[in-house]
Amino acid sequence: MTTPQHHAATPTGLSRRSVLTAAGLTAAGAALQGSWGASSAAAAAAPAIFYSPHQDDEAIGMAGSILEHKAAGRPVYLVLVSKGENGGIAENLNRTQCFLGSKCSAPGHTHDLGWQEKWPTPEVVSARTSEFNASAKALGVDKVINFKLSDTAYGTESEYEAFVKKIMNKVRGLIEQYPKASHKFAAGWLDTTKPTDPTNATHKACSDAAFWLHDNGELTDVRFNHIYTYEAFSRGQRDRGADYVLNIPSAHMKKKRAAILAYNTWDPNRNLYTTGYHSVPTMLEEAYSDPREFVYGLPSNYTPGRGK
């Protein structure tokens, strides 16, 4: 990983306290407002539920927010939305010589694992999930929930829509079980490696699910963390448009870095094969060195649908 660098930034929008105790959005297009606040101890103790589209998203762009809620005394539940089937990771780990060179943590920087490269890539799913669990442990979350949804967001339009509905149904179960919980998703409409490229379909499906549940009045307390900002934008541009910039305290940043390092650990005895680092090395490195996270409300012009 890169050497940590600390950059001062001025928070915008909500204070840290008001983000943690916000009662919820009043309309689909409402901006985050610092005047919100939970009035009862029961509301303050309700869980904060974070939804990670894939294994690694929680460490990259949600870990500081998770730790902030933990420090405020709230239980934190971490959800893994999709299985994370990814043939590209299998291809990378099937190479004898690693494309990462000396950055690869495998002995001799070589692997040649012989994993299945075609869907459903069982070895990739298993190893990525082991890294996710190690990351969750480093963050000290109170509960890990795995939706185990096959990642069909990149299929046909009907498959994408069906995937959104599956997420919605899973989230409905948690809304029913934890009626006072707050819900934190990836800002899927922003999650692209380049501003000119389509959004990541799985991330967009997660924010679409949140949008429809909010639009239906089923989900009231919802916010979104921008994950891909660490690759799409330079450090000075990452806070653009954010309703709240979280400046992560050094003690929390240490734990976030431990969560990130779960994705660059080679330990076959624990089913850890650096799958995250062989997938999104730039994002992991940039998130490791930038002690900020970026939180959004639903924009007034939100458009559901893949690539929108």
CA 23 vs CA 43, 113, 221: distances in Å = 8, 48, 6
Positions of the chain with pLDDT under 70: 1-44, 308
- Rounded-to-integer distance, Cα 261 and Cα 99, Å: 19
Provide DSSP, 194-234: STTSPPPHHHHHHHHHHHHHHHTTS--SEEEE-STHHHHS-
Instruction: Check residue 3 and give its pLDDT.
Output: 32
Order of strands, sheet of 143-149, starting from the edge strand that comes earlier in the sequence: 143-149, 76-82, 48-52, 182-186, 222-225, 292-296, 244-247
At 113, phi and psi to the nearest 5? -80, -25
Instruction: Check residue 204 and give its pLDDT.
Output: 98
Which candidate, 148, 182, 287, 269, places its Cα nearest to that of 230?
A: 287
Instruction: Check residue 15 and give its pLDDT.
Output: 33
Local structure of residue 155 (DSSP, 8 states): S
Report the sign of the C-alpha dihedral through residues 55, 60, 62, 63, in that order: positive
* Three-class secondary structure of residue 126 per DSSP: helix
Pair 105, 265: CB distance under 8 Å: yes
Provide DSSP, 61-76: HTHHHHHHHHHTT--E
Which candidate, 55, 7, 3, places its Cα nearest to that of 234?
A: 7
Instruction: Check residue 44 and give its pLDDT.
Output: 53
Q: What is the pTM of this model?
A: 0.87
Return the C-alpha torsion angle 19, 23, 25, 26, nearest 10.
-140
- Rounded-to-integer distance, Cα 256 and Cα 135, Å: 9
CA 263 vs CA 133, 135, 273, 296: distances in Å = 10, 8, 8, 26
Tell me how crowded residue 45 is: count the other CB atoms within 10 A of its CB. Answer: 12
